[in-house]
Structure 1
Amino acid sequence: MSRTVAIVDDHTLFAQSLKNLINTFDGYEVSGIYKNGRELTHQFEANRAKPNLVLLDIKMPIMDGPETMCWLKENYPTQKVLALSMEDDEETITFMVKQGCRGYLLKDIDPDGFKFALNKVIEEGYFYTDAVSDAIKNKEKSLSKLTKREIEFLSLACTEMTYKEVASEMNLSPKTIDGYRESLFQKLNVKSRTGLVLYAIKNRILLL
């Protein structure tokens, strides 16, 4: 029985070429092509047969890769997903992996390497290149300099709460909260609450 693959990519020519390539691999068959995550979720919600593997692009209209990955994690956490994109920034890679993506490939990968990755994900559950492993390590290193309470404060500081309300929420004195704020200003090299929010968004701390 063939291993089925769903392709989620808004570039029609690339998606069709990818389908043709995968269908030449022994034991593989593309079960469908979807232009965005919303089209894929509709298929899942219709209770149709699920693919063995989803190949997921990152930048797409309507519902992009990260949004789709979050939806799959919540609704179908065992679904195997392999990201295939031109985006190679550490924030995107680590976010996708944290959401349960089994691997992350760049679109310039050669066919043999691509087939090897497919086999690894389906047979062993994951496939991470050295670049992905390095990105994860760098992200962890970046966050390791923050304490658990500092991360909690940072998350609350990104809401509409005043610092006084944040202090109440964390059961701390306003003076202690001021200390957390000044410590983060120094550690993150920012000078304002806006700087804290931008750091949190960039590093997706609000979604951890």
Structure 2
Amino acid sequence: MGVTNLSKHTVVVAESQTLFRDMITNFVEDMDEFSVIGKLTNGQEVIEFIEEKEIRPYLCLLDIHMPVMDGLACAKKLKTEYPDMKVVLLSAYDDEESIETVLSVCADGYILKSSGLKEFKDILRFITEGKFVAPQKLVQYFSKRLDALLQIERESSLHFIKEHFADRTDLNKREWQIIQLLKKGWTNRMIAEELSISEGTVKNYLSLVYKKLDIKNRVELLQMLSKMTG
């Protein structure tokens, strides 16, 4: 293997379609800061290339949809074994299912094949600066999911629950804990394991809670909790 210009970031491109593979390679090679050291057709070839050549590329550009081993499986393996390696996924799709899967493999970026040349190059440069780059739709989707998770967490906080119970003073610390875990959707067994008590003890506490709140059962308690919104 020839000597690689050490001043450039080494790149491996994996794309099953020859035309796209050559186009992507040309785009990358056209940038002064990058040098393509491997053009491959699937994820398995990427893994074998790295292992056999004993070379660790700075960046791997992986098409999501490839035979043998797709880009997602390859990205997951690479980020597990080489967490510092930059991994960017290429796809023609920006649907919610694809977005969720991309987030799950901890890729450093996500580029749509419909991107313009300038956008493509800008994304690669941003990634070298340590930024995660993704299409606007992905960022918006992630933001909405994060907001929803934060809302759930906030509404499951003891402070929030106590506020909506008018800061009742007749409930003790353990009873508040159990109410909080019920609000999160936990079962009696899960609550017992979390608090290191028996399921029977959880049931006894719940019976006391029902009596204090003047309700009959778990269903009514859950209905009370479900009405709490911020």
Q: Which residue of 2 aligns with 1:22?
A: 28
Name the CA distance, whole Å, in 1 between partners of 2:101 and 2:145: 10
- Tell me the matched-pair count: 169
Query: Deviation string for 1:82-112 (max 9, x for gaps)?
Result: 1111121223223323422111110011111
Name the CA distance, whole Å, in 1 between partners of 2:146 and 2:129: 27
Q: Which residue of 2 aligns with 1:9?
A: 15
Contact 2:8 2:35 in 1 (8 A): yes
Secondary structure at the residue paired with 1:45?
Answer: helix
Q: Which runs of 5+ in 1 are unaligned?
A: 155-166, 188-208
Q: Which runs of 5+ in 2 are unaligned?
A: 1-6, 157-180, 204-217
Contact 1:94 1:139 in 2 (8 A): no
The residue correspondences of 1:165-184 to structure 2 (distance < 5 A) are: 171=193
Query: Deviation string for 1:117-170 (max 9, x for gaps)?
Result: 1111012343234222112123445666778989x999xxxxxxxxxxxx58x8
- The higher-RCO structure (CA 8 Å, 6+ apart) is 1
Name the CA distance, whole Å, in 2 between partners of 1:118 and 1:18: 12
Structure number with greater Rg is 2
Q: Which residue of 1 aligns with 2:78?
A: 72
1:44–1:90 distance in 2 versus 1, CA, 3 Å: same
Q: CA deviation at 1:60?
A: 1.2
CA RMSD of aligned residues (A): 3.3
Query: Deviation string for 1:184-205 (max 9, x for gaps)?
Result: xxx9xxxxxxxxxxxxxxxxxx
Q: CA deviation at 1:19?
A: 0.9
- TM-score, length-normalised on structure 2? 0.60
The reply on whether 1:60 has 2:84 as its aligned counterpart is no
Contact 1:53 1:80 in 2 (8 A): yes
Q: Which residue of 1 aligns with 2:120?
A: 114
Q: CA deviation at 1:42?
A: 0.9
Name the CA distance, whole Å, in 2 between partners of 1:102 and 1:70: 11
Contact 2:12 2:38 in 1 (8 A): yes
Paired amino acid for 2:90: L
Paired amino acid for 1:33: K
1:119–1:38 distance in 2 versus 1, CA, 3 Å: same
Q: Which residue of 1 aligns with 2:41?
A: 35
Q: Which residue of 1 aligns with 2:57?
A: 51
Secondary structure at the residue paired with 1:81?
Answer: strand
